[in-house]
Amino acid sequence: MEITIKNLQYSYPGSPFSLNLPEYVFAPGLTTLIGQNGAGKSTLLKAVAGLIDFDGEIDFDGENLQDFLAKGRLTKIGYTFQDPNDQLFNSTVYKEVAWGLEQLKMPEDEVEKRTISTLDKLGLTEFKGLNPYDLSLSDKKLLTLATVLALDPAIYLFDEPLMCLDYPSRQLVSQLFNELINEGKTIIMICHDMDWVAEMGSRICVMAGGQVAYDGLPRGFFENEQLLKENGLLPPRVYQLSKMLNMATPCLSLAEIQ
Protein backbone atom coordinates (compact mmCIF):
# COMPACT_ATOMS: atom_id res chain seq x y z
CA MET A 1 0.00 0.00 0.00
CA GLU A 2 1.31 3.45 -0.96
CA ILE A 3 1.14 6.29 1.54
CA THR A 4 1.25 9.80 0.05
CA ILE A 5 1.95 12.87 2.17
CA LYS A 6 1.19 16.38 0.93
CA ASN A 7 1.92 19.63 2.76
CA LEU A 8 2.12 17.93 6.15
CA GLN A 9 2.69 20.39 9.00
CA TYR A 10 2.62 19.96 12.74
CA SER A 11 3.90 22.06 15.65
CA TYR A 12 3.99 21.36 19.37
CA PRO A 13 2.47 24.16 21.49
CA GLY A 14 5.19 26.28 23.06
CA SER A 15 7.95 24.57 21.10
CA PRO A 16 10.01 25.91 18.18
CA PHE A 17 9.90 22.47 16.54
CA SER A 18 7.83 22.12 13.39
CA LEU A 19 7.28 19.08 11.17
CA ASN A 20 7.17 20.21 7.55
CA LEU A 21 6.90 17.73 4.66
CA PRO A 22 5.72 19.30 1.38
CA GLU A 23 5.54 15.91 -0.34
CA TYR A 24 6.65 12.37 0.47
CA VAL A 25 5.63 8.87 -0.61
CA PHE A 26 6.06 5.67 1.37
CA ALA A 27 6.00 2.73 -1.03
CA PRO A 28 5.36 -0.91 -0.10
CA GLY A 29 8.41 -2.43 1.59
CA LEU A 30 10.57 -1.13 4.42
CA THR A 31 11.41 2.54 4.97
CA THR A 32 13.58 3.29 7.98
CA LEU A 33 13.47 6.72 9.58
CA ILE A 34 16.81 7.79 11.05
CA GLY A 35 18.17 11.00 12.52
CA GLN A 36 18.98 12.69 15.80
CA ASN A 37 16.53 12.85 18.70
CA GLY A 38 14.03 15.63 18.08
CA ALA A 39 14.33 15.35 14.29
CA GLY A 40 10.61 14.59 13.89
CA LYS A 41 10.66 10.82 13.37
CA SER A 42 8.16 9.87 16.07
CA THR A 43 5.94 12.83 15.21
CA LEU A 44 5.79 11.70 11.58
CA LEU A 45 4.97 8.14 12.65
CA LYS A 46 2.14 9.39 14.90
CA ALA A 47 0.76 11.53 12.08
CA VAL A 48 0.65 8.54 9.70
CA ALA A 49 -1.06 6.51 12.42
CA GLY A 50 -3.68 9.22 12.91
CA LEU A 51 -2.68 9.75 16.54
CA ILE A 52 -2.22 13.53 16.24
CA ASP A 53 -4.12 16.28 14.44
CA PHE A 54 -2.10 17.92 11.67
CA ASP A 55 -2.41 20.25 8.72
CA GLY A 56 -2.07 18.73 5.26
CA GLU A 57 -3.02 15.41 3.67
CA ILE A 58 -2.06 11.79 4.15
CA ASP A 59 -3.58 9.39 1.63
CA PHE A 60 -3.50 5.60 1.52
CA ASP A 61 -3.74 4.37 -2.08
CA GLY A 62 -5.65 7.58 -2.83
CA GLU A 63 -7.96 7.37 0.20
CA ASN A 64 -7.59 10.03 2.89
CA LEU A 65 -6.51 9.06 6.39
CA GLN A 66 -9.87 9.56 8.10
CA ASP A 67 -11.81 7.46 5.57
CA PHE A 68 -9.09 4.82 5.55
CA LEU A 69 -9.14 4.36 9.32
CA ALA A 70 -12.94 4.59 9.56
CA LYS A 71 -13.19 1.19 7.89
CA GLY A 72 -11.34 -0.54 10.74
CA ARG A 73 -8.16 0.79 12.33
CA LEU A 74 -7.00 -2.57 13.70
CA THR A 75 -6.87 -4.22 10.29
CA LYS A 76 -5.36 -1.13 8.63
CA ILE A 77 -2.45 0.04 10.77
CA GLY A 78 -0.36 -1.77 13.36
CA TYR A 79 1.56 0.57 15.66
CA THR A 80 4.10 -0.13 18.41
CA PHE A 81 5.38 2.50 20.83
CA GLN A 82 9.02 3.04 21.71
CA ASP A 83 8.30 2.18 25.35
CA PRO A 84 6.32 -1.08 25.62
CA ASN A 85 5.03 -0.01 29.03
CA ASP A 86 2.93 2.61 27.22
CA GLN A 87 1.19 -0.11 25.23
CA LEU A 88 0.70 -3.23 27.36
CA PHE A 89 -2.38 -3.38 29.59
CA ASN A 90 -3.80 -6.91 29.76
CA SER A 91 -3.34 -9.33 32.64
CA THR A 92 -1.51 -12.05 30.69
CA VAL A 93 0.74 -12.31 27.65
CA TYR A 94 -1.88 -14.47 25.92
CA LYS A 95 -4.66 -11.95 26.52
CA GLU A 96 -2.43 -9.12 25.27
CA VAL A 97 -2.16 -10.73 21.83
CA ALA A 98 -5.74 -12.01 21.78
CA TRP A 99 -7.27 -8.64 22.71
CA GLY A 100 -7.04 -7.05 19.26
CA LEU A 101 -8.40 -10.17 17.57
CA GLU A 102 -11.36 -10.21 19.96
CA GLN A 103 -12.17 -6.60 19.06
CA LEU A 104 -12.58 -7.80 15.47
CA LYS A 105 -15.27 -10.27 16.67
CA MET A 106 -13.33 -13.25 15.37
CA PRO A 107 -14.53 -16.75 16.28
CA GLU A 108 -12.93 -17.99 19.50
CA ASP A 109 -11.09 -20.84 17.78
CA GLU A 110 -9.56 -18.42 15.25
CA VAL A 111 -8.48 -16.07 18.04
CA GLU A 112 -6.78 -18.95 19.82
CA LYS A 113 -5.14 -20.21 16.63
CA ARG A 114 -3.72 -16.81 15.69
CA THR A 115 -2.63 -15.98 19.22
CA ILE A 116 -0.75 -19.24 19.78
CA SER A 117 0.82 -19.08 16.31
CA THR A 118 2.03 -15.51 16.83
CA LEU A 119 3.41 -16.18 20.30
CA ASP A 120 5.27 -19.18 18.91
CA LYS A 121 6.69 -17.10 16.07
CA LEU A 122 8.06 -14.55 18.56
CA GLY A 123 9.35 -17.19 20.97
CA LEU A 124 6.91 -16.13 23.71
CA THR A 125 4.75 -19.24 24.10
CA GLU A 126 6.32 -20.25 27.40
CA PHE A 127 5.32 -16.87 28.86
CA LYS A 128 1.66 -16.92 27.75
CA GLY A 129 0.32 -17.16 31.31
CA LEU A 130 2.54 -14.44 32.76
CA ASN A 131 1.65 -10.81 33.35
CA PRO A 132 3.34 -8.74 30.61
CA TYR A 133 5.02 -6.61 33.28
CA ASP A 134 6.82 -9.68 34.60
CA LEU A 135 8.69 -10.01 31.28
CA SER A 136 12.12 -8.62 30.54
CA LEU A 137 12.21 -5.38 28.57
CA SER A 138 13.39 -7.30 25.52
CA ASP A 139 10.45 -9.72 25.72
CA LYS A 140 8.05 -6.82 26.29
CA LYS A 141 9.27 -5.34 23.01
CA LEU A 142 8.69 -8.65 21.26
CA LEU A 143 5.21 -8.84 22.80
CA THR A 144 4.24 -5.45 21.35
CA LEU A 145 5.32 -6.75 17.95
CA ALA A 146 3.20 -9.85 18.48
CA THR A 147 0.10 -7.76 19.20
CA VAL A 148 0.24 -6.20 15.73
CA LEU A 149 1.56 -9.21 13.81
CA ALA A 150 -1.45 -11.24 14.94
CA LEU A 151 -3.78 -8.69 13.33
CA ASP A 152 -1.97 -8.83 9.96
CA PRO A 153 -2.63 -5.16 9.05
CA ALA A 154 -1.75 -3.57 5.71
CA ILE A 155 0.67 -1.11 7.30
CA TYR A 156 3.17 -1.55 10.14
CA LEU A 157 4.55 1.40 12.10
CA PHE A 158 7.34 0.59 14.56
CA ASP A 159 8.98 3.10 16.91
CA GLU A 160 12.45 1.68 17.68
CA PRO A 161 11.46 -2.01 17.65
CA LEU A 162 15.10 -3.11 18.07
CA MET A 163 15.71 -1.17 21.27
CA CYS A 164 16.93 -3.41 24.13
CA LEU A 165 16.78 -6.60 22.02
CA ASP A 166 19.56 -9.16 22.35
CA TYR A 167 21.27 -10.53 19.23
CA PRO A 168 19.00 -13.59 18.70
CA SER A 169 15.90 -11.41 19.10
CA ARG A 170 17.26 -8.86 16.62
CA GLN A 171 17.88 -11.64 14.11
CA LEU A 172 14.33 -12.88 14.65
CA VAL A 173 12.89 -9.41 14.06
CA SER A 174 14.99 -9.02 10.90
CA GLN A 175 13.61 -12.32 9.62
CA LEU A 176 10.04 -11.27 10.40
CA PHE A 177 10.53 -7.94 8.64
CA ASN A 178 11.86 -9.69 5.54
CA GLU A 179 8.77 -11.91 5.54
CA LEU A 180 6.51 -8.86 5.72
CA ILE A 181 8.45 -7.22 2.88
CA ASN A 182 8.01 -10.34 0.73
CA GLU A 183 4.27 -10.23 1.49
CA GLY A 184 4.11 -6.71 0.06
CA LYS A 185 3.39 -4.98 3.38
CA THR A 186 4.27 -1.33 3.97
CA ILE A 187 6.60 -0.94 6.96
CA ILE A 188 7.83 2.33 8.45
CA MET A 189 10.16 2.09 11.40
CA ILE A 190 12.44 4.29 13.48
CA CYS A 191 15.93 3.01 14.14
CA HIS A 192 19.15 4.35 15.67
CA ASP A 193 21.27 1.29 14.81
CA MET A 194 23.21 2.12 11.66
CA ASP A 195 24.69 -1.39 11.49
CA TRP A 196 21.19 -2.87 11.20
CA VAL A 197 20.07 -0.19 8.75
CA ALA A 198 23.01 -0.98 6.45
CA GLU A 199 22.50 -4.73 6.80
CA MET A 200 18.85 -4.54 5.74
CA GLY A 201 19.77 -2.36 2.77
CA SER A 202 16.28 -0.93 2.43
CA ARG A 203 15.24 2.64 1.77
CA ILE A 204 16.09 5.18 4.46
CA CYS A 205 14.62 8.58 5.22
CA VAL A 206 16.99 10.82 7.17
CA MET A 207 15.16 13.50 9.13
CA ALA A 208 16.51 16.74 10.59
CA GLY A 209 14.59 19.68 12.02
CA GLY A 210 11.24 18.24 10.98
CA GLN A 211 12.26 17.87 7.33
CA VAL A 212 13.70 15.17 5.06
CA ALA A 213 17.47 15.57 4.73
CA TYR A 214 18.05 12.46 2.60
CA ASP A 215 15.85 9.88 0.92
CA GLY A 216 17.33 6.82 -0.75
CA LEU A 217 19.45 3.74 -0.16
CA PRO A 218 21.90 3.50 2.76
CA ARG A 219 25.10 3.54 0.71
CA GLY A 220 24.32 6.90 -0.85
CA PHE A 221 23.98 8.41 2.62
CA PHE A 222 26.84 6.67 4.41
CA GLU A 223 29.30 7.54 1.64
CA ASN A 224 28.42 11.24 1.91
CA GLU A 225 30.65 12.53 4.72
CA GLN A 226 29.11 15.99 4.58
CA LEU A 227 25.58 14.66 5.07
CA LEU A 228 26.74 12.44 7.92
CA LYS A 229 28.38 15.38 9.64
CA GLU A 230 25.39 17.67 9.14
CA ASN A 231 23.04 15.09 10.65
CA GLY A 232 25.32 14.01 13.49
CA LEU A 233 25.40 10.35 12.47
CA LEU A 234 28.14 7.76 12.08
CA PRO A 235 28.37 5.13 9.34
CA PRO A 236 28.16 1.41 10.21
CA ARG A 237 31.16 -0.07 12.00
CA VAL A 238 31.91 -2.43 9.10
CA TYR A 239 32.02 0.55 6.77
CA GLN A 240 34.40 2.42 9.10
CA LEU A 241 36.67 -0.63 9.36
CA SER A 242 36.76 -1.24 5.61
CA LYS A 243 37.68 2.42 5.09
CA MET A 244 40.55 2.02 7.55
CA LEU A 245 41.71 -1.01 5.55
CA ASN A 246 41.63 1.07 2.36
CA MET A 247 39.24 -1.29 0.59
CA ALA A 248 38.43 -0.10 -2.92
CA THR A 249 34.69 -0.25 -2.20
CA PRO A 250 33.97 0.02 1.53
CA CYS A 251 31.49 -2.59 2.76
CA LEU A 252 28.31 -1.68 4.57
CA SER A 253 27.77 -5.06 6.23
CA LEU A 254 29.46 -8.38 6.95
CA ALA A 255 27.37 -9.97 4.22
CA GLU A 256 29.21 -7.87 1.61
CA ILE A 257 32.58 -9.09 2.90
CA GLN A 258 31.51 -12.72 2.76
Q: Rounded to an integer, what distance in angstroms lies between the CA atom of residue 247 and that of residue 245?
A: 6
pLDDT single digits (tens) 72-91: 888 999 999 999 999 999 99
Q: Rounded to an integer, what distance in angstroms lies between the CA atom of residue 252 and that of residue 222?
A: 8
pLDDT of 220 strictly over 70 = yes
Helix (H) or strand (E) holding 23: strand 18-26
Query: Of the candidates 199, 191, 193, 185, which has an alpha carbon nearest to the alpha carbon of residue 148?
Result: 185
Side chain identity, residue 87:
Q
pLDDT of 247 strictly over 90 = no
Cβ neighbourhood burial of 245 (10 Å; 0-12, 13-18, 19+): exposed
Mean pLDDT of 145-157: 97
Q: How many beta carbons lie within 10 A of that of residue 182, not counting itself?
A: 9
pLDDT of 258 strictly over 80 = no
Q: What is the pLDDT of residue 45?
A: 96
pLDDT of 36 strictly over 90 = yes
pTM for the whole structure: 0.94
> 57, 7 in Cβ contact below 8 A?
yes
pLDDT of 257 strictly over 80 = no
Buried b or exposed e, range 33-49, using 16+ CB within 10 angstroms: bbbeeebbbbbbbbbbb
Give the rounded percent of residues in the chain with a pLDDT score beyond 70.
Answer: 100
Kindly list the structural domains of the chain, giving each domain's residue range(s) and its CATH number in brackets, ordered by start: 3-92+151-257 (3.40.50.300)
Q: Rounded to an integer, what distance in angstroms lies between the CA atom of residue 22 and that of residue 170?
A: 34
Residue 172 DSSP SS3: helix
